Structure 1
Amino acid sequence: MPDPARSGRALGPDADGDRPGRRSGARDRSGHGQGRNLFQEQLSVEGSYVWRYDASDLSQRRGEAVTTLGQGWTEPPGTPAVGLAYLAAFKATGRPLFMDMAKATARALLRTQLESGGWQALLEFDPVARAAWCYRADAGTGRPDCEAIEGNKLRNVTNIDDNISQASLTFLIRLDSELRGEWGDLRKAAMFGLEGLLEMQYPNGSWPVRSDFKIPDALTNSAWRARYPAEWSRTYVEPAGEFYITNDHVVRDTIRMFLLAADTYREPAYLATARRAGDFLLAARLPESQPGWAQTYNPDLEPIWGRKFEPPAIAAYETASSIEALLELYAATGERRYLEGIDPPARWLEQSRLPEGDWARFYELETNRPLYFDADYQITHDGGEAPDHYSFRGSFGIPSVLERYRQAADGEVLAGQADVSPVPSDADVEAITGALDDQGRWVEDGLIHSGSFVRNLAALASFAAAEKGVSLPDYIRPVRHKLDF
């Protein structure tokens, strides 16, 4: 059993600022408040965060790209992921410190919400550089009208790739719920963002990865059911025109966000939006004998190339995330068509497991042979020379997804409803608290990782709540798969 000073009271300073658990002048291993204060006071830019920081020079910082001291990052484990961890800590302890941190993080997102409703990966706070962006907060402040801004083609483009806008809205919705709508600007931003993503949805239920306008119905004449292409090129063909994707969990993450919004605000339009996306997934599932999902489709719902290392194929990872989305729709609606739509792809995943116990990312259309790429990005069936920048093989969380499906199919639980934060073991808590350095930081190979901070803070929050006999919502679940970035 961990020392209480390092477990139930391990979530930072008491209200009077004293550090819990300090004994005989020894270094306080429970000093997570110190680590978190450092995180906000020394690492935050206007309430925003990036992915990682050089522990010896905190000015050296980056998200997916290097950032300046006037920039933040939205893609998890950036700004919204940190905000969700702060919110978990507040729910576990009730300490105003954590609510103040969560509010500061929300202000960063309110200041960088685009007029199209969502966010880009990069958040700009430099007063001069901000003028190149169509930030909703800056409208009417002397900045040129959005249409008049030149030199930035992304100036008003909502991005839903990599959980950028979905995670941001998820955090704002969670915080708005906790505050019971009392922060009017926060509620308005959440409503505005949800409306923007609702209007972006294609009539067939899919979404473009990024957009700055409402999608006209006339643009979309999608097939009703996925099919195999008559032929496909073994060399890269850049997708042109309109296309639909499941890659990077775009559909799952957006469904998950709209289900949260529907549950929070009791707005039927949000649930209807999630249902339409579920209909798209059911339509985009390929026929037997490969009833899984591709990453990218043309308007005929035929698999096509995405990027040069993403061929027309059945994708194991995206099949798993599509199953997750259907499970959560089943949990929210009780409609068995979502559950019944999972059985064929679940069986396909079981049958497609490699002898070593994991999965290839891609399986060749109709033959079901694993597909890889060599160092020159030529398709091959040999994974030995695959580039290491992409997950061409792995477990992809598939075993846990299949287990959740089996539970739902057996009637044990409506999968997705048990949105409860996992409680770490005593040994896990000891490891987390013991990993702090003398400055109260989690440092790995000379770097401070936001993902580790989010994971550790949420775990300690769950542990502290459990000590009180309380189950904590799994606030970081929507971003958990991104915490190792």
Structure 2
Amino acid sequence: MRNHARLLFLPLLSMFACAPTEGPPDGEAQTGEAPQAAVTPLRAKALGRMRNAAKYFHDNVARHGGYAWHHNASNLSERWGDIQLDEEQIMIQSPGTSDVAIAFVEAALADPATPALKTYALDTAMALRHGQVKSGGWRLYADFKPTPTLRACYLNTTANCGCGGCTTTAYDDQVTQNALIAMMRVDQLLGFANADISSASAYARARMETSQYPTHGGFPQGFSAPVAARPALSASYPPSIGTSCGLAQCHANAYTTEYWDDPTLNDNLATAFVEMLYWAQEIYPARAATYQSMRSAFGDFLRRAQMPQPQPAWAQQYDSQMQPRWARSWEAPAIAGQESQDVMWALLRLYQLDPSVPANRDAVATALAYLETVDFANDTLIHRYIELDDTAPSNLGFYTVKAGGYPVRFSSAPPTYQNYAWEVPSQLAALRAEYNRLASDTTVMKRSCQQLRYDTAQAVDAAVNNEKWLTNYSPGGPRSGATPGDYLDTSTFVRNLRTLAEFVTRTTTDCTAWNY
């Protein structure tokens, strides 16, 4: 109790200890810094870093308004996503161009006195517009060459779309969800006055509306046309085919569709769908009822997708009978630890948005009671895959996959596919805390003022020349084949810029006591 009381007084005491001085401290660059009158040192620094970093990233790092994941600080033409990109190519997939657009929007809202921030957001959204495909959404990359080497059936530039799957909109890896959120938020930032951005948003939303399975409520990994209705089935365990794979139960249903056409939760899609539909409802009131209905239907799907006892969590993907199914050879029918955590965050967000549906929060309680018995390493890790067994589950994870596709418990061999997280951080404690908080407080979850100030100070102090953040990759580069050294990482830029924008905003609202 005494320690807690001391923490409560820290903001007040530190305000006097860190009172503004005349001019910036020694060594503090003044470029872009706000006047000191009526603001405190950290907020002034945060505002200056935000302006400087946004300008540097936009003016020096962007190509056609878009971004890669990693940019070599010594040679900005060396750019990497999950592959090496040339200077005519950008990443849409996170952490890429979509995330930068959202960060610019939040910076512009926090600092309306700097109109350049709106320009940066518009330029980034126009890069996204170039990457929009004719089926409505986006794919992992966009290529600006007259004859693209990363081929896609682009809506605004491609005359001939005879390139196989390049016509498909990708929901996998949250590609289209994040790009559409970015496009919608830029549209709103610009007052719906830019015809190119407004039409791109409208085109994407119209096709997104036909990509949710009618009646069923889920979404596929991608789409190229409106999807057909599916029955609203509840999840069940697939029939066992014995123990030939080395697990307690082996499963291999016959599938009539490709996995990418079936309902998926792969790679944290649940929260991405919820946020996409939330922003659509908020920004376009004329279609709000449609997006509210879609969001409710998706919540219904998530609850039906929860496996029954004794393993009431979620799989990575489901077949037409709503049973966990194989996708790629290392993506097994199993309880999926990472995706289950993401679904629980999505359900808690749905409950926060609409407490009149307590079933969303109740489903999380059931899942937590089970998953809290299977995380490990002092509750810090959870298996990406936990073997299915509807009778006497051993709740064991596996680490690799045999050539034939079957998982192997505790294999000492390296994974068949090594670019994969077989063990992921456990978020169960944070989920339990949010579940408990929502019992009495259904306001949106946000960082504490204390944590926000700490994160802001870190971002301010780490800025090189008050304008950029560098990540060192040595002795190896950020990707196989990349040059070792300092890189401008998009993920770091986005995280820090959004933190600075949040601090600039909240130190005039609910965090004024931390404005020192």
Deviations 1:174-232 (A, max 9, x none): 22223332223322222221121111111211111111111133xx4x46111111115
For residue 192 of structure 2, the aligned residue among 181, 184, 188 is: 181
Equivalent residue number for residue 211 of structure 1: 223
* Per-residue deviation, 1:260: 1.9
Distance across 1 between alignment mates of 2:282 and 2:431: 23
Deviations 1:407-447 (A, max 9, x none): 22x2x222xx4154665555543432232334832111121
Alignment of 1:186-201 (within 5 A): 186-201=197-212
For residue 372 of structure 1, the aligned residue among 398, 403, 424 is: 398
Alignment of 1:80-479 (within 5 A): 80-94=98-112, 95-129=114-148, 133-138=152-157, 144=159, 148-150=160-162, 152-203=163-214, 204-217=216-229, 220=230, 222=231, 224-232=233-241, 234=245, 241=257, 242-266=261-285, 267-333=288-354, 334-354=356-376, 356-357=378-379, 358-366=381-389, 367-374=393-400, 379-382=407-410, 387=415, 389-408=419-438, 410=439, 412-414=440-442, 417-418=443-444, 420=446, 423=449, 424-438=451-465, 440-445=467-472, 446-469=486-509
Greater shift in the superposed pair: 57-66 or 386-395: 386-395
Cα contact 1:11–1:461 (8 A) shared by 2: no
Distance across 2 between alignment mates of 1:11 and 1:113: 40
User: Aligned pair count?
Assistant: 448
Deviations 1:72-120 (A, max 9, x none): 1111110010111111211222111211111111111122222211011
- Please, which runs of 5 or more residues in structure 2 have no aligned partner? 1-13, 473-485
Q: Identical aligned pairs, as a percentage?
A: 24
Cα contact 1:114–1:136 (8 A) shared by 2: yes
- Give the counterpart letter for 1:230 in structure 2: P
Distance across 2 between alignment mates of 1:328 and 1:433: 31
Cα contact 2:217–2:298 (8 A) shared by 1: yes
For residue 94 of structure 2, the aligned residue among 73, 76, 94 is: 76
For residue 60 of structure 2, the aligned residue among 39, 42, 53 is: 42
- Please, which runs of 5 or more residues in structure 1 have no aligned partner? 23-27, 473-485
Deviations 1:27-52 (A, max 9, x none): x9965544332211221111111101
* Per-residue deviation, 1:292: 0.7
Deviations 1:10-29 (A, max 9, x none): 9972699xxx999xxxxx99
Distance across 2 between alignment mates of 1:283 and 1:451: 34
* Per-residue deviation, 1:243: 2.5
* Per-residue deviation, 1:332: 2.5
Distance across 2 between alignment mates of 1:421 and 1:13: 26
Distance across 2 between alignment mates of 1:207 and 1:425: 35
Distance across 2 between alignment mates of 1:223 and 1:32: 47
Cα contact 2:34–2:47 (8 A) shared by 1: no
Q: Structure 1 residues 10 and 227 mapped into 2: Cα distance closer, same or farther (>3 Å)?
A: farther
Q: Structure 1 residues 373 and 383 mapped into 2: Cα distance closer, same or farther (>3 Å)?
A: same
Equivalent residue number for residue 479 of structure 2: none
Distance across 2 between alignment mates of 1:465 and 1:432: 16
Distance across 1 between alignment mates of 2:29 and 2:309: 52
TM-score (norm 2): 0.78
Describe the SS at the equivalent of 2:107. Answer: helix
Q: Structure 1 residues 97 and 106 mapped into 2: Cα distance closer, same or farther (>3 Å)?
A: same
Describe the SS at the equivalent of 2:85. Answer: coil
Q: Structure 1 residues 120 and 328 mapped into 2: Cα distance closer, same or farther (>3 Å)?
A: same
Q: Structure 1 residues 425 and 169 mapped into 2: Cα distance closer, same or farther (>3 Å)?
A: closer
* Per-residue deviation, 1:451: 0.3
Cα contact 1:239–1:305 (8 A) shared by 2: no
Greater shift in the superposed pair: 207-216 or 331-340: 331-340
Distance across 2 between alignment mates of 1:170 and 1:421: 21
Instruction: Give the superposed CA RMSD.
Output: 3.3
Distance across 1 between alignment mates of 2:268 and 2:31: 34
- Give the counterpart letter for 2:396 in structure 1: P
Q: Structure 1 residues 12 and 398 mapped into 2: Cα distance closer, same or farther (>3 Å)?
A: farther
* Per-residue deviation, 1:276: 1.5
Distance across 1 between alignment mates of 2:237 and 2:29: 55
Distance across 2 between alignment mates of 1:53 and 1:347: 43
Distance across 1 between alignment mates of 2:311 and 2:251: 22
TM-score (norm 1): 0.83
Cα contact 1:226–1:283 (8 A) shared by 2: yes
Greater shift in the superposed pair: 259-268 or 441-450: 259-268
Greater shift in the superposed pair: 296-305 or 335-344: 335-344
